Amino acid sequence: LEMPMEGGGEQGRWEEERLKTASLSFGAKKEREKGLKAEREKYQLILEEDEIINFVSSAVIMKGTQDETEQEQAALSQAEVQKQSIQEVRRSLPVFPYREDLLLAIQQHQILVIEGETGSGKTTQIPQFLMESGYNDGGMKIGCTQPRRVAAMSVAARVAQEVGVKLGNEVGYSIRFEDCTSERTVLKYMTDGIGLCLKVVVVIIDEAHERTLHTDILFGLIKDIARFRPDLKVLVASATLDTERFSCFFDDAPVFRIPGRRFPVDIFYTKAPEADYLEACVVSVLQIHVTQPPGDCLVFLTGQEEIETCCELLQERCRRLGSKISELLVLPIYANLPSDMQAKIFSPTPPGSRKVVVATNIAETSLTIDGIIYVIDPGFCKQKSYNARTGMESLIVTPCSRASANQRAGRAGRVAAGKCFRLYTAWAFKHEMEESTVPEIQRTNLGNVVLLLKSLGINDLIHFDFMDPPPHETLVLLGRRMAELPVDPMLSKMILASEQYKCSEEVLTIAAMLSVNNSIFYRPKDKVVHADNARQNFVVPGGDHMVLLNVYTQWLESGYSTQWCYENFIQFRSMKRARDVREQLEGLMDRIEVEVCSSGGDIVPIRKAVTAGYFYHTARLSKGGYKTVKHQQTVYVHPNSSLFEEQPRWLIYHELVFTTKEFMRQVIEIDSSWLLEVAPHYYKNKELEDSSSKKMPRKQGKAKEELG
Ligand code: CDP
Ligand code: MG
């Protein structure tokens, strides 16, 4: 068998440290069971209630089946069987025996911190307990905040299924630019907008340990709101990390611990650092597949591109090995993956085969995939990092924290004893990794935070009760009108400026296209030449923003055609999203009193409006690349840009991404005099003088290969 077993297989490559990540808590469970006996009657009642729910919903289904075909009836009764097993699964979750205690604690305390292992049922079960015990009586609502869009959608879908309702009816979700709720919605999972109206009776701040920006802001807001609303219940749900801090922040709120069922996880470290962790992942998966007993495998990578490459490599090597190995199902999961593909990771593994899920750290705590026995952890994650001095925000691949690494390892021990393969040395774990991840609020551009808080009517930001206050110098105030738009401050500034330059039609389109996240152009590996040609055909003078506008306009002229997208290597899904976003933004124009009108083909006003929003993102051609105007940092035009070859003297960039070097993504050409026009408070004439009159030699080199 030609297995790529570099380093002589497991023996040669790995160093084992039989480290148990957690102790079994079966002792505690036994004690609980004693207590449970006394409550048996109550529990029987719950079981019966569950059955009643089943019965009722099956009655509804039966009503609908009167004149259905036989086939459909079979499918429906299969759904019944599924539903029964869903109830069994619910009862088997670690949180289930604590249902009554938990409800009692919620009744007795306004703010309660709930700590439980990932997968114990916090997100899916607790809201159901609340609904079952009537918290939503009288039209009241339950809200559960989620840091990730994927988690919000998938959890809402799961809970809707468990409750037996259609997603968007009683159970729904609301994420930025997408609202899947209705008047009937009682339980809402949401990533965005807190919507804390008087109708909300319980708010659950879920995944609190992630310490995302929104979560951190919510902490401060809710603490304040709770004082005025004694009837509001606040639940702070967290994985087993740092719960004391939450309790402390909320004036010593009690912590309710749900004992987990964790099996021991053996941890293996590599003896030497890995030069190429992607390749190391692929090799490790295959090693596990051929040498280890059945059980699914979870690999942690940092982003979509890496995940796709890893999946391709795995599939490719499996194809080459053919029937020499049993089947390996390779499934990716990341935030932008289409939801039908996302759902696949939850389907059970067929006997005789092995599933390998290649995930971002979304699978660290937000999603639970059953059946994982093996975890491969290269020890990296992608983190947003903000430099207040340069005003730059970038996504950087950095070593993850020890807390993260332990969470990842824990994923292997949910259903049985597992193994975690760390693609780094034990020494690196102890000496090179940070203890825990720095909260996002301390490494982000606070423009958005400020706007959000201001829009909520909070003006005294300096004294706002932050759990970990953001750096003082980044608290700068910006306009309230901008806060009306659910987009980044610079984008909203750009939209507002389009009023003055009479080109809001075009600018709205550009804003919508920019907000769909660089996923417009489709570039399949086997049709690279065609895709690049198609892309080239969209190029128009002015820069990438104008190209985006051109793509959208042509699509509009095609009647928003799917076929058109297909033929032009454009992602239909992204375009559809851009259209949605555009419609929503257009709807808001009224509110901020901006008239929607077109520049009629003149591209100067459009570029001026962009400059007005992004004046901070100016770069000027200099030796060997570009330099940002304010901080003289060296940056480069992204090879995918329409201006990569042209290299104009002055550029505005939409964002900086750091891969092999600091690249500007989505750039437009500007005239430096515009900067004085749009931001006279910011630029001085002297700064904008051109020191040389001749065009700079092109020195960027071919970076295309580096980027893949
Ligand atoms: O929130 P917590 O991590 O405590 O657990 P949960 O998300 O409520 O998950 C409880 C159970 O529901 C897990 O065992 C998952 O397998 C299952 N689940 C699922 O099947 N599909 C989802 N989309 C979410 C959860
Ligand atoms: Mg959860």
Q: Give residue-wise pLDDT tens across range 568-626.
A: 999 998 899 899 889 888 887 877 777 899 999 999 999 999 998 888 889 999 988 89
Helix (H) or strand (E) holding 667: strand 662-669
In this predicted structure, which of 38-52, 75-89, 406-420, 565-579 has the lowest mean pLDDT? 38-52
With a 6 A CB cut-off, is 158 part of the ligand 1 pocket?
Answer: yes
Atom in ligand 1 nearest the alpha carbon of residue 258: 4
What CA–CA distances, in Å, run from 25 to 21, 92, 488? Answer: 13, 16, 46
With a 6 A CB cut-off, is 123 part of the ligand 1 pocket?
Answer: yes
Joined tokens for residue 670 = 């500007």
- In sequence order, the 6+-apart residues with CB closer than 8 A to the CB of 182 are 168, 169, 172
Sign of CA dihedral 236, 237, 242, 243: positive
Asked whether the predicted pLDDT for residue 169 surpasses 60, the reply is yes
pLDDT of residue 64: 26
Asked whether the predicted pLDDT for residue 452 surpasses 80, the reply is no
Relative to the alpha carbon of 156, which ligand is closest?
1
Atom in ligand 1 nearest the alpha carbon of residue 124: 8
Alpha-carbon span 244 to 250, nearest angstrom: 10
Out of 158, 161, 206, 345, give the residue to mutate to test ligand 1, the one with the largest number of ligand atoms within 8 Å of its CB: 158
CB count in 10 Å sphere of residue 432: 13
pLDDT of residue 80: 61
CB-count exposure of residue 687 (10 Å: 0-12, 13-18, 19+): middle
Atom in ligand 1 nearest the alpha carbon of residue 206: 1
Rg (CA), the chain: 27
Asked whether the predicted pLDDT for residue 118 surpasses 90, the reply is no
HSE toward the beta carbon, residue 92, CA cutoff 13 A: 9
Contact in structure between 488 and 449 (CB atoms under 8 Å)? no
Q: Which string of b and e fits 561-589 if b means at least 16 CB within 10 Å? A: beebbeebbbbbebbebbbebbebbbebb
Out of 163, 261, 346, 368, give the residue to mutate to test ligand 1, the one with the largest number of ligand atoms within 8 Å of its CB: 368
Helix (H) or strand (E) holding 653: strand 650-658
pLDDT of residue 192: 57
Asked whether the predicted pLDDT for residue 60 surpasses 60, the reply is no
With a 6 A CB cut-off, is 370 part of the ligand 1 pocket?
Answer: yes
Contact in structure between 625 and 700 (CB atoms under 8 Å)? yes
Alpha-carbon span 276 to 423, nearest angstrom: 10
pTM above 0.80, yes or no: no
| Mean pLDDT of all residues in 313-333 | 92
Alpha-carbon span 65 to 60, nearest angstrom: 9
Contact in structure between 692 and 620 (CB atoms under 8 Å)? no
Higher pLDDT, 68 or 231: 231
Q: Give residue-wise pLDDT tens across range 526-541.
A: 898 999 999 999 999 9
CB count in 10 Å sphere of residue 418: 25
Q: pLDDT-derived band of residue 63, with 50, 70 and 90 as boundaries?
A: very low
Asked whether the predicted pLDDT for residue 182 surpasses 80, the reply is yes
Report which protein residue has its CA nearest ligand 1's atom 8.
Answer: 121
Relative to the alpha carbon of 344, which ligand is closest?
1
Asked whether the predicted pLDDT for residue 422 surpasses 60, the reply is yes
Higher pLDDT, 42 or 248: 248
In 3-state terms, what secondary structure has residue 366?
coil
HSE toward the beta carbon, residue 690, CA cutoff 13 A: 12
Percent of the chain whose predicted confidence (pLDDT) is above 70:
76
CA angle 692/655/379 to nearest 5° reads: 125
Which phi and psi (to 5°) does residue 636 adopt?
Answer: -130, 155
With a 6 A CB cut-off, is 119 part of the ligand 1 pocket?
Answer: yes
With a 6 A CB cut-off, is 366 part of the ligand 1 pocket?
Answer: no
Mean per-residue pLDDT over the chain, rounded:
79
- In sequence order, the 6+-apart residues with CB closer than 8 A to the CB of 114 are 102, 122, 126, 235, 236, 237, 238, 255, 256, 258
Q: pLDDT-derived band of residue 387, with 50, 70 and 90 as boundaries?
A: low
Which residues have CB less than 5 Å away from ligand 2 (the ion)?
122-123
Q: Give residue-wise pLDDT tens across range 239-268.
A: 877 788 899 999 999 999 998 777 889 999
- In sequence order, the 6+-apart residues with CB closer than 8 A to the CB of 230 are 110
In this predicted structure, which of 22-26, 162-166, 361-365, 483-487 has the lowest mean pLDDT? 22-26
With a 6 A CB cut-off, is 565 part of the ligand 1 pocket?
Answer: no
CB count in 10 Å sphere of residue 178: 16
**Residue 171 CA to ligand 1 centre (angstroms):** 16
Asked whether the predicted pLDDT for residue 235 surpasses 50, the reply is yes
| Mean pLDDT of all residues in 661-679 | 90
Report which protein residue has its CA nearest ligand 1's atom 6.
Answer: 121
Q: pLDDT-derived band of residue 22, with 50, 70 and 90 as boundaries?
A: very low
With a 6 A CB cut-off, is 342 part of the ligand 1 pocket?
Answer: no
**Residue 159 CA to ligand 1 centre (angstroms):** 9
pLDDT of residue 228: 83
Q: pLDDT-derived band of residue 6, with 50, 70 and 90 as boundaries?
A: very low
- In sequence order, the 6+-apart residues with CB closer than 8 A to the CB of 124 are 155, 158, 159, 162
With a 6 A CB cut-off, is 498 part of the ligand 1 pocket?
Answer: no
Angle of helix 149-163 relative to helix 122-132, nearest 10 degrees, comes to 40
Q: Give residue-wise pLDDT tens across range 70-117.
A: 445 555 555 666 666 888 889 989 999 999 999 999 999 999 999 998
Q: pLDDT-derived band of residue 198, with 50, 70 and 90 as boundaries?
A: low
Report which protein residue has its CA nearest ligand 1's atom 24.
Answer: 155
Asked whether the predicted pLDDT for residue 653 surpasses 90, the reply is yes
Residues in a beta bridge with 174 = 179, 190
Joined tokens for residue 539 = 């190029």
Q: pLDDT-derived band of residue 14, with 50, 70 and 90 as boundaries?
A: low
pLDDT of residue 205: 93
Which phi and psi (to 5°) does residue 70 adopt?
Answer: -60, -40
pLDDT of residue 15: 65
